[in-house]
Amino acid sequence: MKRIGAFFLAFLLLCACGAPGAQGSALEQANRHLDTPFSLAMPAEEAEKHATQYRYGGGFGGFTLENQDARYMLSGYPDVLDAYHVTEIRLLSTKYHIFGVTLYDELQDALEAFQSYGFTEDESRSEDTRLVMTNENVELILEASEGILNGLRIGVIATNVEGVDF
């Protein structure tokens, strides 16, 4: 009985302390907190099943599917030369949310929400009106004016092993 009690106590402590991986990867966490029809890293074949509802935009190294509410970038992932997946989601209206945040929310509220999920600012890539935040291989790009979000994107960071210059 003591062994069961000790095991149970150890299990509870492990859970309470937030064991590594208990919340999943940053990508898994991001997808759980997106309410868009497509998720990050979704294979292009899956996204294209719904392409009739979106405008197609061509490009070099990828393509976009867009409607009035969101633009999805599909490109190589996990490396830029790999098969196409959804690599970026840009909100175009207030219909969808990223970690509960949408366009025209207060910038400070958005920062607090994103920081609570482990995102930190990448100061080397941020500018006056553009803030880049990362958590593992997931990045957020926030654009704001007068403390209000007017641009919001989330994406996965792909590797570029061959050094391809797009």
* pLDDT tens-digit map of 101-137: 999 999 999 999 999 999 999 999 999 889 999 999 9
Q: Report if residue 79 sits inside a domain.
A: yes
What does the alpha-carbon distance between residue 129 and residue 61 come to, in Å, rounded to a whole number? 27
pLDDT in tens, 59-102: 888 999 999 999 999 999 999 999 999 999 999 999 999 999 99
Q: Report if residue 148 sits inside a domain.
A: yes
Domain total in the chain = 1
Q: Report if residue 18 sits inside a domain.
A: no
What does the alpha-carbon distance between residue 79 and residue 66 come to, in Å, rounded to a whole number? 23
Q: Name the amino acid, one letter, at 33.
A: H
Q: Report if residue 70 sits inside a domain.
A: yes
In this model, does residue 8 exceed pLDDT 50?
no
Sign of CA dihedral 7, 9, 10, 16: positive
What does the alpha-carbon distance between residue 72 and residue 64 come to, in Å, rounded to a whole number? 5
Query: Can you give the residue range of the structural domain that contains 53?
Result: 25-156
Torsion of CA 48, 51, 52, 57, to 10 degrees: -130
pLDDT confidence band for 55 (50 / 70 / 90): very high
Q: What is the CATH number of the domain that holds 48?
A: 3.40.33.10
| Bridge partner list, 142 | 131, 152
Q: Report if residue 165 sits inside a domain.
A: no
